[in-house]
Amino acid sequence: MSAIENLIANTIREDVRNIASYHVPDASGYIKLDAMENPYQLPDALRAELGQRLADAALNRYPVASYATLKQKICAGLGVPAGYDVLLGNGSDELISIMATAVARQQLGAEMRRAVIMAPTPAFVMFSRSAQFAGADFVGVPVKADFSLDLPAMLAAIEQHKPALVFLAYPNNPTGNLFDADDMVAIIRALGETGIAVVDEAYQPFAKKSFMGRLPEFPNLVVMRTLSKLGLAGIRLGYLSGDAKLLEQFEKVRPPYNVNVLTQVAAEFALDHLEVLDSQAEMLNAERARLAAELAALPGVEVFPSAANFISLRVPDADKVCAQLRSEKVLIKNLSKMDKVLANCIRVTVSTPEENTAFLTALKASL
């Protein structure tokens, strides 16, 4: 081996050396329907006003460490229960990492055992990656063929592994469905005083259902969201809420100044105009219904119910379809290699009427 290869072998963890980095494909020149982004920008007048506010931001200073104004706007505008605070992160990814790091102890009592983090699978890949990087074990519990929770299997896994964290995406990514709320409550109750249930509501603006208002019922419940799907993916802001004593512990792991000044200013401005973003979400929901109906009419296509801003569907040959769409400059997500339950499945972001029609045209030609 070369000197640099020896250096890496002697210093970098083996499990890190053996995995690939998180890959984000170059979307230049493509109709980008693979990342669940809101295709709409703010209206011109608001963009101009935001530009001035960003120009006035004090880039020479660190952000206000408490983020008090931004937190107040989130709590007031996004349904956080009275008396509850939020913790902010550089997108949901950092919040997942913060929680995983906080619970990833290596010894439980006299028994030497790594902490366990659990989720129904298939799931957002950062649940397992964050567990790995924090030094915890990840346990995935397969969903049923219809993508619903396998509650008996989840409860058995909780009993066996005693997880410190259980992530429940609501709705789930990459499947798009909402898990049964009563099943989720059963899982929260089963965790009791030995595990934290994290309900990931990244797609709440489209689902219109939430566990946020139920935080006072369950001391072990955390609700996590992001502003990315609402139309602000570029500023990278996530937030979570839960019992104040839990947030106090997570706060110890949060890096100082993890939300930058430009994100802070942009988020505060956007939250002052939340009705614009909500209106965009309604347009996307309407397009989701149209797109799902047209997809369901295609021969050989199975469309799965979605409460998110994307639709998952099964096609006769996912690899062929994705290659053909890419040749037509349409970028979607091939799910077929993620999990056996997703065999020949693809995922498409709901976009503008024009981009959705372009996708449909390309898809029809590929079938």
- pLDDT tens per residue across span 13-30: 999 999 999 888 888 899
- Is 239:89 a contact under the CB 8 Å cutoff? yes
Q: What gap in Å lies between CA 210 and CA 19, rounded to an integer?
A: 34
For residue 86, the model assigns a pLDDT of: 98
Say which CATH class 59-273 falls into.
alpha beta
pLDDT tens digit string along 129-177? 999 999 999 999 999 999 999 999 999 999 999 999 999 999 999 999 9
For residue 113, the model assigns a pLDDT of: 79
Report the DSSP beta bridge partners of residue 168: 199
Every domain of the chain and the residues it spans? 3-43+275-366, 59-273
Residues 339, 287, 225, 60, CA torsion sign: positive
pLDDT tens digit string along 249-273? 999 999 999 999 999 999 999 999 9
Q: What gap in Å lies between CA 145 and CA 152, rounded to an integer?
A: 15
Task: Band the pLDDT of 110: cuts 50, 70, 90.
Answer: low
Q: Measuring CA to CA, which residue among 269, 257, 240 is closest to residue 70?
A: 269
Q: Would you state the structure tokens that stand for residue 133, as one six-digit string?
A: 């990087």
- Average pLDDT, stretch 310-316? 98
For residue 108, the model assigns a pLDDT of: 60
- Is 263:112 a contact under the CB 8 Å cutoff? no
| Residue 110 burial class via C-beta count within 10 angstroms: exposed 0-12, middle 13-18, buried 19 and up | exposed
Q: What gap in Å lies between CA 98 and CA 65, rounded to an integer?
A: 17
Give this prediction's pTM.
0.95
pLDDT tens digit string along 196-225? 999 999 999 999 899 999 999 999 999 999
Residue whose tokens read 């006035």: 56
DSSP for 92-141 reads HHHHHHHHHHHH--SEETTEE---EEEEEES--HHHHHHHHHHT-EEEEE
Task: Band the pLDDT of 109: cuts 50, 70, 90.
Answer: low
The answer as to CATH 3.40.50.2300 being correct for domain 3-43+275-366 is no
CA distances from 302 to 91, 172, 275 (A): 32, 18, 34
